[in-house]
Amino acid sequence: MNKDILICGVGGQGTVLASGIIAASAAAQGYAIHSAETIGMAQRGGSVTSHVRIGRAHSPLIPFGNADILLAFEPAEAVRNLRYLKEDGVVIVNTTATKPVTASLKDSDYDGSEMTDYIRKKCACIFVDSEKVTKEFGSSRFFNIIMLGIAAGSGKLELDKGTLQQQIEKRVPAAYVDINKQAFQRGYEIGSKAAAGQNL
């Protein structure tokens, strides 16, 4: 299998953990892996982008127009990184905006809706509202694992579900393994419904 996955968001959303689980799962299944992160003032809500390349690759960075999946934790970051997506690629995007510091200072009304409208016109998409799906788990901190589950359940990730769950067990604190596995399963169900063309 050859697959390029770009994961983007802002600092604190857990994008690096999600990319690490994907990379480790692919390696556990015997695939060659190349990965890299670009982090800009992540702790202040800056952009975070992770490149995960499964299979043959000459560089850890995905060329423009080559990503099979864009896993976007924030709508503006999705738009910013659309140039990486191939023509028949898919975007899995959080519709809940994270207002940047500059917008907060200016009292901007940015809510991400213009971004999601733009994405909808440009490519195949799976939209997910982080506020809605994390409500049952009591915290937004589990959204990265839900997004991972959506990618797996959609069939686009093409990695073994059990292997992904094993990596979750290895990479999250023991006290949070069970709830993270529940979050993964919830995401997997959402992704499966999206693949079947059902309303989310």
Q: What is the pLDDT of residue 137?
A: 95
Residue 42 pLDDT level (bands cut at 50, 70, 90): very low
Q: Would residue 199 count as lying in a domain?
A: no
Dist. CA 183–CA 187, nearest whole Å: 6
Residue 106 pLDDT level (bands cut at 50, 70, 90): low
CA 169 to chain centre: 19
Q: What is the pLDDT of residue 92?
A: 97
Q: What is the pLDDT of residue 98?
A: 83
**CATH number, domain at 67?**
3.40.920.10
Domain that holds residue 173: 3-194
Dist. CA 182–CA 186, nearest whole Å: 6
pLDDT surpasses 50 at 53: yes
Tell me the pLDDT tens digit for each residue of 158-186: 999 999 999 999 999 999 999 999 999 99
Dist. CA 117–CA 156, nearest whole Å: 22
- Domains contained in the chain, number: 1
Instruction: Please give the residue that has the higher pLDDT: either 41 or 55.
Output: 55
Would you say how long the chain is, in residues? Answer: 200
Tell me the pLDDT tens digit for each residue of 78-101: 999 999 999 999 999 999 998 654
Q: Would residue 21 count as lying in a domain?
A: yes
Which residues touch 153 (CB under 8 Å, ≥6 apart)?
187, 188, 189, 190, 191, 192, 193, 194, 195
Q: Would residue 157 count as lying in a domain?
A: yes
Residue 103 pLDDT level (bands cut at 50, 70, 90): very low
Q: Would residue 34 count as lying in a domain?
A: yes
Tell me the pLDDT tens digit for each residue of 112-154: 788 999 999 999 999 999 999 999 999 999 999 999 999 999 9
Q: What is the pLDDT of residue 111?
A: 76
Average pLDDT of span 21-44: 85
Residue 5 pLDDT level (bands cut at 50, 70, 90): very high
